[in-house]
Structure 1
Amino acid sequence: MKDLQEILAIARQVSWDAADILRSYYHGSAKDSSLNVQYQQNEPVTVADVAVSQYILDQLQAALGHEDFGYISEETYKSRNDAQADNPSWVWIIDPLDGTRDFIDKTGEYAIHIALVKETRPVLAVVAVPEAEKLYYATKGTGTFVETRDGSIPLRLSSSKPIEDLTLVVSRSHRNERLNYLLENLPCQKQKAVGSIGCKIATILEQQADVYISLSGKSAPKDWDIAAPELILTEAGGKFTHFDGSLLQYNTGDINQWGGLLASNGQHHELLCQEAEKVLAQLPHG
């Protein structure tokens, strides 16, 4: 198998090219720029999602093959209960278009996630934010970098705000009563609305926000929503855990990330997790 930095170079190039394809749909310059929106389980899917998914898979498989790696992409995933026996230990987890609603609504807040997971934890990640023309990437133990067309610089989080001055980055659409109740009762009340989990985590990396909370209800974020954003945040010095402090697990056979998840710039992380658990314990059960 190739060395991790060689694999990262391939993933970065694929991400830049995939970002160009998405932008061509977004700005209407693709050959067929009608997005042809369809719905699967109430979530929108466009021709751009499908085209970019196919492109990423084709490129990674052409460069790296099938022998050493499994591939899980949002657009091609089918429940793998029947395939549990041969769960490969190295798996690519791909979201070709994180923030499809934002893509359709033209907010600019959409991203591409490519993560390589070993056993159950990410070891390599790229998050591309096409409209910002930025790529965030990390490998386990070597830190996080932000790349523009001009080159790369390392990113390191540092912050020393009191807890009440922290800013929560929140969704415009994915909200439910439990999450609203939780957000209303946390010690930090500043909020910034951003689409796409990749863009939310990028907002923390750019130090425009400090905390992101996910609370599953009837549905939960999936492996491909979280795996790449988690590594670029934690390698920059941030934290991303369940409310009880335990690490997230990927490639477990269940692609859902259930429960309460908290991502932060690392500051007041444990305290915020404890506060979140406390608030939810007080929630009147209707």
Structure 2
Amino acid sequence: MHYSSILPDVIKVADEASERVLHIYQSDFKVQYKEDHSPITAADMASHEIIVKGLCSISRDIPVLSEEGEQVPWEERKQWRRFWLIDPIDGTKDFTQRTGEFTVNIALIENGEPVMGVVTAPALKEAFWGLKGEGAYKRDRTGRTHRIHVAEPKDVKRVVASKNHLNDDTRAFIETLGDHETLQAGSSLKFCRIAEGHADIYPRMGLTCEWDTAAAHAVLSAAGGKVQTLHNTPLQYGKEDILNPHFIAAGNWYF
């Protein structure tokens, strides 16, 4: 399969989900809570259903793993060489708090690596996508699309951090970087800000799941960046434990 041939269809699916998410976002929606006390809304489920249906129409032989879908046993998942990994809404807290910095994320994983990623920010009217070996792109709120690439860092590092999950370990790491300024962004937009050259590094010393990072990881990689664990190994996907280890996302200058 030539992934470049299906990328426009994947973007179309993400846009369709984003449109539905935005419609709910602009309404008087209700917030419920899952067993782990994380929030969920009708927008999460609507996005999930649209994306799963859309991806199955693109390719029925590629399985789908979604945050809002049924759990798939490891005995089945470990046989997957290639699969879709989606987060129907990343940053549900940003959604419920109406900050606008939530995203819809679709990634294609192959042999543990995110080779394609589409990230849309419905409320900001932005979209990002990247394909291994073919670069990364941004569509801005005017509808204009242009290629993006990580920046060469200057003396003062621009560190992007989580609005809701900035902990002591992350603060301690940031202090080791020397002169820096801290930028805040929600959801997977932290990766995208590095990919488009607006930030330099994103350290995450806290829990995330594979679906939180995969799509934006693909965008950043296609834009010339990397995402690596604290042991200097690439962040991998399709593990038995869907939790990610601590990681650092940045341009190649850091690694």
> TM-score normalized by structure 1?
0.83
Q: Does 1:154 align with 2:150?
A: no
Instruction: Report how far residue 84 of structure 1 moved.
Output: 4.5
Q: Could you list the per-position Cα deviations for residues 186-212 of structure 1 after superposition, in whole angstroms to 9, with x for gaps in the alignment?
A: 32441112111x111122233332110
Which residue is equivalent to 1:274? none
In structure 2, the residue matched to 1:21 is 20
Letter in 1 for 2:52: L
SS at match of 2:17: helix
> When the two structures are aligned, how many residues end up with a matched partner?
254
> Does the 8 Å contact 1:172/1:194 carry over to 2?
yes
Contact 1:146 1:152 in 2 (8 A): yes
Call closer, same or farther: CA 1:157–1:185 in 2, change over 3 Å: closer
Task: Choose from 211, 214, 219 the match for 1:227.
Answer: 214
User: Match of 2:36?
Assistant: 41
Deviations 1:58-77 (A, max 9, x none): 11112321xx2111001114
**Residue in structure 2 matched with residue 240 of structure 1 by the alignment:** 227
Deviation at 1:175, TM superposition (A): 3.2
- For residues 14-65 of structure 1, what are the alpha-carbon distances to aligned partners after superposition, in whole Å with 9 as ceiling and x for unaligned? 011111111111112xxxx423332331211111111111110011112321
Letter in 2 for 1:59: G
Query: One-letter code of the match for 2:201?
Result: V
Indicate if the aligned counterparts of 1:166 and 1:188 stay in contact, CA closer than 8 A: yes
Q: Which SS does the other structure have where 2:159 is aligned?
A: strand
RMSD between superposed Cα atoms in Å: 1.9
**Deviation at 1:243?**
2.2
Aligned pair partner of 1:214 in 184, 204, 214: 204
On the 8 A contact 1:168/1:210 being kept in 2, the answer is yes
- Between the aligned partners of 2:213 and 2:181, the Cα distance in structure 1 is 23
User: Which structure has the larger Rg?
Assistant: 1
Match of 1:102 in 2: 94
In structure 2, what is the Cα distance between the partners aligned to 1:57 and 1:45? 18
User: Secondary structure of 2:101's match?
Assistant: coil
What's the secondary structure of 1:131's corresponding residue?
coil
Change (3 A) 1:49 1:188: farther
Matches within 5 A, 1:274-285: none
For 2:171 and 2:144, the matched residues in 1 are separated by 40
Structure 2 vs 1, CA of residues 160 and 180 (structure 1 numbering), >3 Å: closer, same or farther?
closer
Amino acid paired to 2:102: Y
Q: Percent identity?
A: 27
Q: Name the counterpart of 1:203.
A: 193
Contact 1:168/1:188 (<8 A) preserved:
no
Gaps of 5+ in 1: 271-286
1:251 aligns with 2:250: no
What does residue range 71-220 of structure 1 map to in structure 2 within 5 Å?
71-78=64-71, 80-84=73-77, 87-148=79-140, 150-162=143-155, 165-196=156-187, 198-216=188-206, 220=207
Cα distance between partner residues in 2 of 1:199 and 1:140 = 19
The one-letter code matched in structure 1 to 2:121 is: V
Structure 2 gaps, min length 5? none
TM-score by length of 2: 0.92
Task: Give the letter aligned to residue 12 of structure 2.
Answer: Q
User: What is the SS of the residue equivalent to 1:251?
Assistant: coil
Equivalent residue for 1:283?
A: none
- Equivalent in the alignment of 1:57: 52
